[in-house]
Amino acid sequence: MDSNLKELINLTVETMDKAGKLVGMEASAGKAALANLVNYLMYLSSSDGQIKPEEVRFISDVADAQIPAECMADYIRENNIYSTEFENDVPAALQFAVALDNELYKRGLNEQLDNRNLSEIIMQTFGYVGNALIGSDGDIDDNEKSDFMIYMGMMNKYIKDNLLSRNGASTGPEEVYDNSIPVPPKNGWVEAPRKA
């Protein structure tokens, strides 16, 4: 994984932790955000029907844990991650970020943060990291693009509908979609669960 992506993820986790502590959370908001991100990446990795070794390595790097492909597939199935239910379930990290952004806005404190919202940070992190994952195996499939847009669209809609200080946030880079290359051989691939 690119060191800039890892730095972005770490910064997002640290920022969420600091925000959680500001409001007296005992649990780690950063760890919750990381768990949401890992589940989202597992969702995207299932989009083309196969969890490829490059995707397993990428997700393991994000999670800071070595996750065998078979365990990942079992986890996706057991937790119904590759489903329309999952793609319509707003991540808890985004819900927390929007609630905190709204509280800061109501108190007039958002100006002190250079008008940067936690919800935008979450949105951009999911966008950049999701794009990097779907390009990690060298094969950007139409289902991956579609599922990326569905999930990012759900997050953006939540922000537009609930954030007091903005009319939505950016989904991150989209240029990765035009870089399709031929499909590599199936060696090492693990069957991914299909959407329910």
Task: Specify if 88 maps to a domain.
Answer: yes
Per residue in 29-84, pLDDT tens? 999 999 999 999 999 999 988 999 999 999 999 999 999 999 999 999 999 999 99
Residue 178's pLDDT band (cuts 50, 70, 90): very low
Is the pLDDT higher at 193 or at 53? 53
Cβ neighbours of residue 16 closer than 8 Å, sequence gap 6 or more: 29, 30, 32, 33, 93, 96, 97, 118, 122
3 state DSSP class of 117: coil
Cβ neighbours of residue 3 closer than 8 Å, sequence gap 6 or more: none
Specify the range with the lowest mean pLDDT, choosing from 122-136, 143-157, 177-191: 177-191
Domains in the chain, number: 1
Which residues constitute the domain of residue 100?
Answer: 3-167
pTM: 0.82
Task: Specify if 148 maps to a domain.
Answer: yes
pLDDT value of residue 57: 96
Task: Specify if 179 maps to a domain.
Answer: no
Residue 24 burial class via C-beta count within 10 angstroms: exposed 0-12, middle 13-18, buried 19 and up = exposed
3 state DSSP class of 17: helix
Task: Specify if 174 maps to a domain.
Answer: no
State how far the Cα of 71 lies from the Cα of 85, in Å rounded to an integer: 21
State how far the Cα of 109 lies from the Cα of 114, in Å rounded to an integer: 10
Task: Specify if 184 maps to a domain.
Answer: no
pLDDT value of residue 106: 83
Q: Counting every residue, how long is the chain?
A: 196
CA distances from residue 42 to 60, 81, 103, 160, 182 in whole angstroms, order as listed: 10, 7, 32, 25, 22
Specify the range with the lowest mean pLDDT, choosing from 87-101, 143-157, 172-186: 172-186
Contact between 41 and 130 under an 8 Å Cβ cutoff? The reply is: yes
Residue 194 pLDDT > 80 = no
Per residue in 95-134, pLDDT tens? 999 998 888 888 777 665 555 688 999 999 999 999 999 9
Task: Specify if 178 maps to a domain.
Answer: no
What letters, b where the CB count within 10 A reaches 16 and e where it falls short, cover 181-194? eeeeeeeebbebbe
State how far the Cα of 80 lies from the Cα of 82, in Å rounded to an integer: 6
Task: Specify if 20 maps to a domain.
Answer: yes
